[in-house]
Chains A and B, each alone.
Chain A
């Protein structure tokens, strides 16, 4: 039977929303206080949902310890307590949480110890979150 296993992780990181192709005034108009020169930080909550058949011997979709290791190595070691703007992934992309979410999805998609990556959700604050899934956008 197909089921889904979800796991939530915490990533504390800083970012600044700024597009060098826009003028200072345009950046201010588009990004508001998120454009402040020295950036700011969030406690991002990262939710990873893995889908797959429940293994008959273990009762599991994916091994939690192996999943933690993969997410730890690919995502947490890289982004936790980091400045997202300085990561090569964001050299040419504004580190909005939309782009951060897509980047995490791409980094994890082929790195899971089992199952298929169904979605990545990134909660920037308690009140806003972004989701990126395997489904094509219709």
Chain B
């Protein structure tokens, strides 16, 4: 089994706010991340797929194809957007790095698995070079 990873970057803004809580609690739990005008990051998205190399091409997946899938399913929705205001999955969920990793998995998995040959193994989202979240499809 080979694990193949492709990286891409996107820049987006967000804020952390739980509508069920009073303002004071949001500020206490989320600190600066609760500033209502939002703030932004240069995110790095890492997509890892697992599979066996094709006997003819030697590829687990075609990297150009994977790049196009990532652009179509994730970057076109997230890059240079406000995640809270412009992406449907964060209308009701807080766009924490954890939730972005889960949402990216949900956007990518159908397209990657439908292609056959390789399966989605891991999503890692870096919010900064020092902070990241990972989702492996677990319940």
Contact = CB atoms under 8 A, between A and B. Distances in A.
Contacts of B96: 54, 58-60
A6 B31 CA distance: 19
B71 interface: no
A58 B139 CA distance: 18
Interface string B96-139: 11110110000000000000000000001000011111111011
A79 interface: no
Given A1-B139, A58-B94, A59-B94, A7 B99 contact: no
Interface string A1-39: 111111111000000000000000000000000000000
Contacts of A7: 130-132
B130 to A, nearest CB: 4
A103 to B, nearest CB: 22
Contacts of B93: 59
A49 B130 CA distance: 11
B31 A65 contact: yes
B1 interface: no
A126 interface: no
A3 B135 CA distance: 5
Contacts of B102: 1, 3, 54
B135 to A, nearest CB: 5
Contacts of A3: 98, 101-102, 133-135, 138
Given A6-B124, A54-B99, 18 more contacts: A1-B102, A1-B138, A2-B136, A4-B136, A5-B98, A5-B132, A5-B133, A6-B132, A9-B130, A54-B98, A57-B21, A58-B16, A58-B30, A58-B96, A59-B98, A59-B99, A60-B98, A63-B29
16 contacts: A1-B135, A1-B139, A2-B136, A2-B139, A3-B98, A3-B102, A3-B138, A4-B136, A5-B97, A6-B124, A6-B132, A7-B130, A54-B99, A54-B102, A58-B30, A58-B94
